[in-house]
Amino acid sequence: MRFPTIPGFDQQAFEKYFKNTGMLFVGRIGSLLIKMIVGISVTNYLHRSNNGILNGGTVYIYFFSAIATLGLDQFIVKELHQFPENRDQILGTSFWMKIFSGFCCLPLIWLAYEIYPAKGTPYHYVLIFSTIGIIQAFNVIDSYFQSQVQSKYIMQVQIIGNVASAIIKLLLIYLRMPLVWFVYAYTIDFLLLAIGYYFTYQRKQRSILNWTFNFKLSKKLLHYSWPLMISGVMVALYMKIDQIMLQNMYGLKEAGAYATVAQLSEAWNFIPAVIVTSLFPAILNAKRDDIARYKKRIQHLYDLMVYMSVPTALVITFAAPLIYKLYKPEYAYAAPTLAVHIWSGVFVFLGAASSQYLIAENFNKLTFIRTGFGAIVNIVLNLILIPHMGMMGAAIATLVAYASATFFIIFIPKVSDQGIMMFKSLFLISLVQKIIKR
């Protein structure tokens, strides 16, 4: 199979890097299709109010997911690459760190609910969802297979897990089960993946019983990962705070309709992560060998992010009314909101690329500074816009917050050139320059 040529990248090298994550990409696409079909079915079954209740419970988990994972995943892969002989120690240490962190999140989630409860969502629903923070510790096995360039096993687990999850949810709909069963079902989604990772790891003649904990290694991992953990909290805030604020200000029905907007708009956000993961090794090689080529490749990466995200946003903008024909008529009025919200994806794509640059240059702390700025912008705009515009106000606030967070680096002198490069890509200046040079 030949992949399309991307300017600035060696074709043979690109194919090598892309194939390393290509199977994971296929798995994500397959899982996305399954989730969207089942998600629409569940949404139509629950109606707006119950969908709002369900979504209100999941938001708290997103707020604390970064703390539960400790921002470790990238560093686990890095450690396994550098010290493969320490596999059991790296995986064991990371696993127990995540287990401990997941338990620590339980009282934090309770406190967050007490301070700012989601109106209409019972706390015992939130408590059930809270166990996800503990279950996700098994995702260290995902990191192991990434480090071994064996993403096909991750793909298999994800597709099988999502098929099983789909069957469970469709069965619940067929049996006309009450809402609480869907709360358990969404939690079981993560349990199914954990079980799949466990048996896949065991099947490769590995055993989690050989994992060991090393305190010195845990300190090292936490030292590197804590900026990403804080950044993850900020990202969760400015990605999800609008949903709980809308629920509290406008009610469950509005929140339930807006949940469909967020689900459809954010479904594509995994794509930039996969693309960046595929291309960034080639960019780092250029940094080592040729700084001019390094900068050129980063510009090409930003261009690619725009070429992928803008056409997608245009298609969804015009197709939004048709998409909502898949839902019951009570959701149809959310189509214009989707047409606005989808444009935030352009800045998600650019932000994913620039975040990798910040990590490569060891500017990890700047990541949570700019996401913190985005969170503040989102909260302030939600307070202003939601009372007057409902979910359209939440979508506008999200769009502005994403753009603000992405381009905040233009005000930081040592990385301001990256902001300028992203502007050149966004307004197609770099494309025009390429055409003129030809």
Residue 240: how many CA atoms within 13 Å on its side-chain side? Answer: 18
- Tokens for 90, please give them: 């790296």
What residue ranges do the domains of the chain occupy?
20-213, 243-438
Q: What is the pLDDT of residue 222?
A: 85
pLDDT at 83: 80
- Alpha-carbon gap, residue 247 to 388, rounded angstroms: 14
First to last CA, the chain: 28
Nearest residue to 316 (alpha-carbon basis) of 350, 349, 340, 348: 340
Please tell me the distance from the alpha carbon of residue 351 to that of residue 365, in angstroms, as a whole number. Answer: 15
CA 11 – CA 147 distance, rounded (Å): 23
- pLDDT < 50 regions, the chain: 1-4, 8-9
Distance CA 341, CA 306 (A): 16
H or E stretch including 316?
helix 291-323
Q: How far apart are CA 28 and CA 67, in angstroms?
A: 24
| Residue 2 pLDDT | 47
Q: How would DSSP label each residue in 132-191?
A: HHHHGGGGHHHHHHHHTT-HHHHHHHHHHHHHHHHHHHHHHHHTT--HHHHHHHHHHHHH
In whole angstroms, what is the distance from residue 141 CA to residue 23 CA? 16
Determine the 3-state secondary structure of 343 from DSSP.
Answer: coil
Angle at 41 between CA 35 and CA 44, to 5 degrees: 135
The answer to whether 345 touches 312, Cβ cutoff 8 Å, is yes
Amino acid at 19: K
pLDDT at 217: 87
258: helix, strand or coil:
helix
Distances (CA, A) of 307 to 47, 131, 312: 36, 39, 9
Please enumerate in sequence order all residues whose Cβ is within 8 A of that of 115, keeping only pairs 6 or more positions apart, or say none: none
**Would you state the pLDDT for residue 438?**
63
Per-residue DSSP letters for 113-139?
HHHS--TT--HHHHHHHHTHHHHGGGG
Q: How far apart are CA 379 and CA 215, in angstroms?
A: 38
HSE of 127 in the Cβ direction (CA atoms, 13 Å)?
6
- Residue 23: predicted pLDDT: 59
- pTM score over 0.95: no
Looking at residue 369, its pLDDT comes to 83
